[in-house]
Amino acid sequence: MINLTLLGATGSIGQSTLAVVDLHPEQFQVFAISANTNWQDMVKLCAKYKPKYAVMADENAATQLSAQLQNDTTVLSGASALEMIAEHVQTDYVMAAIVGSAGMASSLAAAKAGKRIMLANKESLVLAGDIFMQAVKDNNAELIPVDSEHSAIFQCLQGGTSGLSKIQLTASGGPFLHTPLDELDTITPEQACAHPNWSMGRKISVDSATMMNKGLEVIEAHYLFNLPHNQIDVVMHPQSIIHSSVYFNDGSTLSQLGNPDMRTVISYAMSYPQRIDSGVEALDLTQNSPLEFYVPDFEKFACLRLAFDALKQGGSAMGTINAANEVAVAGFLDNKIKFLDIAKIIEKTLTQSAHHFPTTLAQVIDNDQSSRAIANEIMLSYA
């Protein structure tokens, strides 16, 4: 029986993970779960899965949860408790599915404890990629990507990297692939969150609409597959059927295809190197033709260009764009700024932030906080 610790249990990835667990109760057991404030859903999850630990990042939410529980689950709160369940000796696999930089420390704790980390929290790599990858290496942790593109590349590289010339991440283009640039200024958070293919949390949905999500994935791919920016390519593919491709110097291209459903990616991470039923319907190519591909428009999707810029700069630049993006997306979701302001705020923050090469988590966090402060200041002039 494999003990799972599920960081971000109430989120979209958390729910899909539990759906896979439900299909394989003989193989997986939920050892610990976490959320931020949503104690109401945690009450239901504790009743159903009876985990040993339930952690709320928010202290008040932990008090509420504790008051509602009638089983033996231990309720804890705060960042140190998240790290504790990630590195716990009884934890076998950690699903790192907290959204944003709040997920970084617990993912790192899992890496330091040598766990299998099923990594959905891309911020762990975007902010602290060098530190994180070193911890994985030093502690023989197992890192399995939980992002459809990186899982696709990971699957395509199972035969090795001999002759690898480039990897190519596919991008759906989100809801505004065919929307002209001048019409993007008036769109609402609801429109931005209505992704045509994937059902996701609100923050990542906006990131998909701006293509910052793809930009962060480019950075993630750089670390996961140890490739420079000029061996990482992006192609627009609105159907989200080809999840990514790998190109070799003999003219071969390998791609992984499937219906767009994160349960495939999650079940692969849970069962690797085997495969198990994920509950996802088999792909029927005849129902999805034609498959379309376009070159990305770096002017319209300025966030994608900014992510490549940050990757080229390296070091703190990647954490800076991530912090600025989190601030700007929250501002957009709160109706404080317009959709196109997101990229403008990120670009200005990148220009105004000091550039350095962090070697400790404290420096990463420092950069994250100072970048947020700068981004918040800049955002005032757009509000």
Ligand X SMILES: NC(=O)c1ccc[n+]([C@@H]2O[C@H](COP(=O)([O-])OP(=O)(O)OC[C@H]3O[C@@H](n4cnc5c(N)ncnc54)[C@H](OP(=O)(O)O)[C@@H]3O)[C@@H](O)[C@H]2O)c1
Residue 32 lies near ligand X (rule: CB under 6 A): no
DSSP state of 355: P
378 forms part of the interface with ligand X (CB under 6 A): no
CB of 371 to ligand X, least distance (A): 17
Rounded Cα distance, 92 and 171, in Å: 32
**Radius of gyration for the alpha carbons in the chain, expressed in angstroms and rounded:** 20
Is residue 57 within the footprint of ligand X (CB under 6 A)?
Answer: yes
120 binds ligand X (CB under 6 A): yes
Q: Is 109 in the site for ligand X (CB under 6 A)?
A: no
DSSP 294: B
Residue 172 as a binder of ligand X (CB under 6 A): the answer is: no
Which of 3, 4, 5, 10 binds ligand X (CB under 6 A)? It is: 10
Q: CB nearer to ligand X: give 324 or 348.
A: 324
* 18 binding ligand X? (CB under 6 A): no
CA 192, CA 336: separation in Å to the nearest integer? 15
Q: Report the nearest approach of ligand X to the CB of residue 6 (Å).
A: 9
- C-alpha angle 140-147-304 in degrees, rounded to nearest 5: 115
Which stretch, 116-124, 160-168, 188-196, 304-312, contacts ligand X (CB under 6 A)?
A: 116-124
Residue 37 is a binding residue for ligand X (CB under 6 A): yes
x/- string (CB under 6 A) for ligand X, residues 69-108?
Answer: ----------------------------xxx--x------
- CA angle 24-29-31, nearest 5°? 155
Spatial separation of the C-alpha atoms in residues 90 and 17, rounded to whole Å: 19
Q: State yes or no: residue 171 binds ligand X (CB under 6 A).
A: no
Which of residues 262 and 270 has its CB atom nearest to ligand X in the complex? 262
Pick one of 204, 303, 311, 379: the residue that binds ligand X (CB under 6 A).
204
The answer to the question of residue 38 lying near ligand X (CB under 6 A) is yes
Q: Which residues pair with 143 in a beta bridge?
A: 117
CB of 213 to ligand X, least distance (A): 7
Cβ 248 to ligand X, closest distance in Å?
26
Does position 382 interact with ligand X (CB under 6 A)? The reply is: no
Shortest separation between residue 257's beta carbon and ligand X, angstroms: 17
261 binds ligand X (CB under 6 A): no
Q: Which one-letter amino acid corresponds to residue 125?
A: L
Shortest separation between residue 58's beta carbon and ligand X, angstroms? 7
Q: Report DSSP letters for 190-220, one per residue.
A: HHHH--SS----HHHHHHHHHTHHHHHHHHH
Task: Let me know the angle formed at the C-alpha of 244 by 253 and 296, rounded to the nearest 5 degrees.
Answer: 105
The answer, yes or no, to whether the previous bond of 290 is cis (omega within 30 of 0) is: yes
Q: Which stretch binds ligand X (CB under 6 A): 163-171, 198-206, 276-284, 292-300?
A: 198-206
Alpha-helix residue ranges (DSSP H) falling in the chain: 12-23, 39-49, 59-68, 79-87, 104-112, 123-138, 148-156, 189-193, 202-210, 212-224, 262-271, 302-313, 316-333, 341-352, 361-380
| Interface contacts to ligand X, rule CB under 6 A | 8-14, 35-38, 57, 97-99, 102, 120-123, 147, 198, 200-201, 203-204, 262
